[in-house]
Amino acid sequence: MNKVKLLVSALCLTAFISSCKKDNLENPGTNEIPAAELNLGSAITADFAGQILDQNKTPIEGALVEISGQKTLTDENGIFRISDVSTKEKLAYLKVEKDGYFVGGRSVIPRASATNMIKVILIEKTLSASVFTGSEMSVNLSTGPSIDFKGEFVNANGLRYEGEVNVYAYYLDPTIEQTFLEMPGNLYAQNVQSEEGILTSFGMLAVELEGSNGELLQIANGSSATLHMPVPEEMAADASSSIPLWFFDEEAGYWIEEGEAILQDGDFVGEVKHFTFWNYDYFNDITTLEGYSISTTGDTIGNQSLSVTAGSFYSISQTNSDGYYWTYIPANTAIEFSFIDDCNNEIPFSTAGPYSAGTNNYHDLLIPEQDLSLSIIKGSVVNCDGNPVTNGEIIVQSALYSGFIPVTNGSFTLALFNCDNNGTFTLFAYDYDSNTNSGILEFTFSNPSTFVGTIDACDTGGNFSEILSYSIDGNPDQEYTSNIYCHQLLSGSTPYFKIFPEDDTSIVIQGWTFNIGTHEFVSSSPGMNIEILPDGIDLNEPYDITVVFNNYGGPGELVSLNFTGHWSDQSAVLHTISGYLVASRDS
């Protein structure tokens, strides 16, 4: 009897182990990721504004911008604004998403007394290669890096994925200035001892994996991939036999150490267990430096890009709306500051330091007089009553530059480079309180200052062209430029809006919420419906669509909005959509 019991027990145990092995094969899950553990200080409330550009520095409209749970969409100039954000005093991370691009973002030390200005360049996603489950394959990028895959992948639910895997990879060269506007974060980092520091980058790699239906994939638990990263020739003398690996944590907004790479035949080679942005970096003790950027005329310069160099360390900082910068730098190292002009020239103009680790330091930056291509643009903006505009902005454009500066007290000062000797630039003033503007005004450069006088932002903007434009799953835009119907109707005593093109067979936008601002409509929070015809939205499946109402006038007046998000059709296939509307309200 005992032998029979033992045999049965052994059979049961064998069956249990076999079952576990089968479950592990079908549901391997993802590899464990180190946790973010840095103390980012007390909560503060701050305002943020900025511009999202593509790699050609063309503004991106309809990008989804999020910081501390608050969301908005960029306008036609790629500009966004988010106010009264609760964030941490040592770091605020702004995340940017747009279909067809890698997720981007920027981390800054926020300042509560002025608008924090942020510029982000999004990296376009281009298919690098396809690999297959169960096959060990390598993907070689034309820019030098390569990735060795072992062929084990899972979907977002941790379930084993079978089939073709599309690999999107992009190399960020640390010797190119634009890399530091394309990368996420700001090189603030957590090492394996959970200490804070600042990184010196020897190169970064962005990698995303997608299944045949566009679903996001990851490396399976227990598997890995090997990255081969070339050491830039200019930095070879500073490369040691090994270097730590760091991944970017999109929730925390900073880099976290995980693993190391070994120098082999001019490449750093290391193993990773999940994909995001990966960074090959040396860790530096950290300190902070802050101050104003001041012209020879005594004006502070807002929304200006500054490069910060310390040996092999390089980063880019942005002054806020008051011309104030605040940045992390390596401790115990002399710092050199340069202006980055609109022709991508770096103009060295100030040195500082070295400073001890863990200290807060102050250093104003004075622009050199010899830089005759720089002009300080100064003026004021009034509303229709002749009073100073206190909730507006100035958008400036030249042949090589597109940017803006908030207007909070009726006046503005900004720096503009005439490095291409074009001679002219345009300004466009906007008053958000009255939804009026100045129209486009042209001016001529003069040095060292260009005074544009008082700008009257009192145009209602009534002359506009109607357009409804949207893209599904990154496909070419579907556009309607006439016969766009925009009505406010009643359901019982409850008003709602309905917007649709003449054919009424492609898209219908309707809802009960039309206040100016950002609205997020998810499965659990109805109130908005974008019907994508003829497939339609399956309301029983998760959906998440963000809509930003920029204008909602009365009959005959302007209605404008942007929207982006995802939904599932009646066949449970996930889709993405982004688009915008400019139309005259019919009723």
Listed range (149-163, 286-300, 435-449) with the worst mean pLDDT: 435-449
∠11-14-16 over CA atoms, to 5°?
110
Q: What pLDDT is attached to residue 465? A: 66
Cβ(40)–Cβ(93) below 8 Å? no
Listed range (153-162, 211-220, 292-301) with the worst mean pLDDT: 292-301
Residues 531-577 pLDDT 10s? 665 555 555 666 677 777 777 777 777 777 777 777 777 777 777 87
pLDDT at 386 over 60: yes
Q: What pLDDT is attached to residue 52? A: 95
pLDDT bracket for residue 226 (50, 70, 90): very high
Listed range (9-23, 61-75, 176-190, 418-432) with the worst mean pLDDT: 9-23
Kindly give, in sequence order, each residue whose CB lies less than 8 Å from that of residue 211, ignoring residues fewer than 6 positions away.
Answer: 155, 161, 163, 164, 165, 166, 217
Cβ(519)–Cβ(513) below 8 Å? yes
Q: What pLDDT is attached to residue 440? A: 85
Q: What pLDDT is attached to residue 21? A: 37
Burial 113-150 (b: 16+ CB within 10 A, else e): ebbbbbbbbbbebeebbebebeeeeebebeebbbbbbb
What is the average pLDDT score of the chain?
83
Closest CA to 277 of 252, 244, 255: 255
pLDDT at 4 over 50: no
Q: What pLDDT is attached to residue 527? A: 55
Q: What pLDDT is attached to residue 558? A: 73
For 168-195, what is the mean pLDDT?
A: 95
Main-chain phi, psi angles of 297, to 5 degrees: -85, 0
Listed range (244-248, 304-308, 475-479) with the worst mean pLDDT: 475-479
pLDDT at 108 over 80: yes
pLDDT at 449 over 60: yes
Cβ(63)–Cβ(96) below 8 Å? yes
For 432-441, what is the mean pLDDT?
A: 84
Residue 231 is given by DSSP the state: P
Rg (the chain; Cα; Å): 27
For 459-477, what is the mean pLDDT?
A: 70
For 144-149, what is the mean pLDDT?
A: 96
Tally Cβ neighbours within 10 Å of residue 195: 14
pLDDT bracket for residue 23 (50, 70, 90): very low
pLDDT bracket for residue 25 (50, 70, 90): very low
- pTM, two decimals, is 0.81
Name which residue leads in pLDDT, 353 or 575.
353
pLDDT at 34 over 90: no
Q: What pLDDT is attached to residue 90? A: 95
Q: What pLDDT is attached to residue 157? A: 87
Q: What pLDDT is attached to residue 426? A: 86
SS (H, E, C) 129-196: EEEECCCCEEEECCCCCEEEECCCEEECCCCECCCEEEEEEEEECCCCCCHHHHCCCCCEEECCCCCE
Distance CA 326, CA 335 (A): 14
DSSP letters for 555-567: TTSEEEEEEEEEE
How big is the chain, counted in residues?
587
Residues 305-335 pLDDT 10s? 889 999 889 999 999 988 899 999 999 999 9
Q: What pLDDT is attached to residue 15? A: 37
Q: Which two tokens stand for residue 11?
A: 């059979």
Q: Which two tokens stand for residue 438?
A: 């100045």
Name which residue leads in pLDDT, 321 or 246.
246
Amino acid (1-letter code) at residue 112: A
Q: Compute CA distances 393 → 78, 80, 118, 325, whole Å.
A: 14, 11, 15, 20
Distance CA 349, CA 158 (A): 52
Q: What pLDDT is attached to residue 553? A: 73
Cβ(543)–Cβ(522) below 8 Å? yes
Name which residue leads in pLDDT, 280 or 295.
280
Cβ(413)–Cβ(395) below 8 Å? no
pLDDT at 2 over 70: no
Name which residue leads in pLDDT, 55 or 408.
55
∠65-109-287 over CA atoms, to 5°?
145
Q: What pLDDT is attached to residue 195? A: 96
Q: What pLDDT is attached to residue 525? A: 52
Q: Could you tell me the domains of the chain?
A: 43-121 (2.60.40.1120), 127-284 (2.60.220), 291-364 (no CATH), 374-456 (2.60.40.10), 467-584 (no CATH)
For 280-292, what is the mean pLDDT?
A: 95
